Amino acid sequence: MDWLRFIKAIAISLACRIKLSLFLVLGRIFDREDVSTSDADVDVVITWVDGDDPLHRWKRERALSKNKKSRVSKTSKAKRRFSDNQELRYCIRSIRNHAPWVRRIWLLTDHQFPFYLRFWAARRAGIRVVTHKQVFSGIEGALPTFNSLSIESVLWRIPGLSENFIYFNDDMFLSAPVAKEDLFADKVIIRARKKAVPDASSASPHVKHQINAFNLTGLSGSEFFSPAHYSYPLKKSVLEQLFEVLSGEFSDNLSSKFRNDHQFWPIALADYYMVANGLAELHSPKDGMVISVSKSKNLSREELDSYISRAEEGSVKFLCVNFMEKLEEKVPDVRKRLERICGPCLPFERS
């Protein structure tokens, strides 16, 4: 019986993907202006996955079995890394409500689409779906991938993406009105803190990926900084140039189906390059806030409540919630509060 349910779930997933493929083909036929941009345009790219999709789950388990599960760290294959708690709903809502100047929102997925959005209505509102197959064109051997560092290596390959764009994970939100100049002024505005290069032997995986990126630049240790985990303003041409100059390193980055400690973080690499070459400048990250996995696990309800209250009051512009499941356990009304923080429901959302 379990097998029958599984086969039925796979069939439904395949049918949804075929339907999405048709939508994407029709969209490209009827909307050719996607390929043109102007210097004034700023797009958003959001990476998203529905890890509960049975086809995606099957591909993930198959990749794990081939990679020998013991070699993939627990954090790289943790279920929460692939779970969809509808954070994307609030992410897109926050962008459209707090940054109406954003031209287009690119949703980069493994041929999936969230059930809580209406495809054609979302498309008319500037939401575009782009698949892993499109951005990995010519390097399909890296697919399927379950590795954000691999995916971030090819963000710049989205057809029609604006030169200046902002990269979001689906658990990142704008929590107050944001002007274009908050991210792109005379230079790209990077929110980060300068610090000494951490000891890689005791660093977290995320920090190791930053260190690995920094080591590729050849900069001195005094120039190290840690980018804040908010939305990231980037330049497409910089990512493309780095991909070409460091082709061997990027090839290695693309080859891992799951994260590992030897990889580098492409976003940090671009940030270090832009600052070193006068294309970006560092600003204090105090106008943003991250409710991390550690905070969600270890802080009390009262402490977490105070963090959320700061966002509700509009005292920060950028918010990231890394572990919605755990946060919701401790603060049951967090979704209602996110609705207040991110702004009103959009016309293309399903209730």
Q: Which token pair is 215?
A: 């080591």
pLDDT in tens, 61-118: 999 888 765 578 877 877 778 888 999 999 999 999 999 999 999 999 999 999 999 9
Judged against a pLDDT cut of 80, whether residue 17 lies above it is answered with no
Quote the longest CA-to-CA distance of the chain.
62
The residue ranges of every structural domain in the chain are 2-342
- Residue 270: which of 142, 92, 181, 149 has the closest Cα? 149
- Between CA 317 and CA 98 the distance in angstroms is 9
pLDDT in tens, 150-194: 999 999 999 999 999 999 999 999 999 999 999 999 999 999 999
**Which pLDDT band holds residue 9 (cuts at 50, 70, 90)?**
low
pLDDT at 1: 46
- Between CA 334 and CA 83 the distance in angstroms is 17
- Between CA 210 and CA 253 the distance in angstroms is 13
pLDDT at 162: 97
Q: Which token pair is 246?
A: 């460091």
Report the CATH fold assignment for 2-342. Spore Coat Polysaccharide Biosynthesis Protein SpsA; Chain A (3.90.550)
> Would residue 126 be called left, alpha or beta, if left means φ above 0 and alpha means ψ between -120 and 50 degrees?
left
pLDDT in tens, 288-314: 999 999 999 999 999 999 999 999 999
Instruction: Assess contact for 111 and 49: CB atoms under 8 A.
Output: no
38-to-104, 130, 182, 236, 308 alpha-carbon distances in Å:
12, 20, 19, 13, 37
